[in-house]
Amino acid sequence: MQKNAAGLCSTAVIERILMVCLVLALPVMERAQDKGAPTNSNLTGRYEGAAKNSQQADITVALELAEKDGTVTGMIRSSHGDFTITDGTHKGNDVTLDFDTGGPVGTMTLKIDGDKMAGSWAAGDDEGPIEVKKAPAQADAPKGKS
């Protein structure tokens, strides 16, 4: 009888240890699963970075984006001018932006990786890589006393 009680006691201890291990492992497994999941966060905000053209010249770039229901609008501001986004989509980790160049339609194809986006752009005979990072939100300017 004493042998059975000792066996039951050690089984209960092992079950408790396994339960604690399982509970502790859940957050780790959840984070690992989230890393592979597509990003569906809203892109609204300002992204700053650089692009290169086909001559490998550096171009400073800022994307000012607004997103609603997967449709992206806004402006592309660069050292080569400002361009209105005429059509933009965001599906999973993929972003496509068409923009008005005053000539042939330009296109950016980007992949989201955390707070960064990287990919390529093309407009007419020119093209190149682009990489931008989400800029911190700017606080409103302090208001004076009235």
Q: How many CB atoms lie within 10 A of CB 76?
A: 26
Residue 4 belongs to what domain range?
A: 1-37
129 beta partners = 120
Model confidence pTM above 0.75 = no
Same domain, 18 and 83: no
Asked if the structure places residue 146 within a domain, the reply is: no
Domain count, the chain: 2
CB 110 within 8 A of CB 129: no
Same domain, 23 and 89: no
What pLDDT tens digit does each residue of the chain (146 aa) get?
Answer: 555 555 555 777 677 775 655 556 555 555 444 444 444 578 999 999 999 999 999 999 999 999 998 899 999 999 999 999 999 999 999 999 999 999 999 999 999 999 999 999 999 999 999 999 999 887 655 555 54
Asked if the structure places residue 60 within a domain, the reply is: yes
What is the reported pLDDT for 116? 96
Beta strands in the chain (DSSP E): 45-52, 58-68, 71-78, 81-91, 94-99, 106-113, 116-123, 126-134
Same domain, 8 and 52: no
Same domain, 88 and 116: yes
Instruction: Please state the separation of Cα 57 from the chain's center in Å.
Output: 26
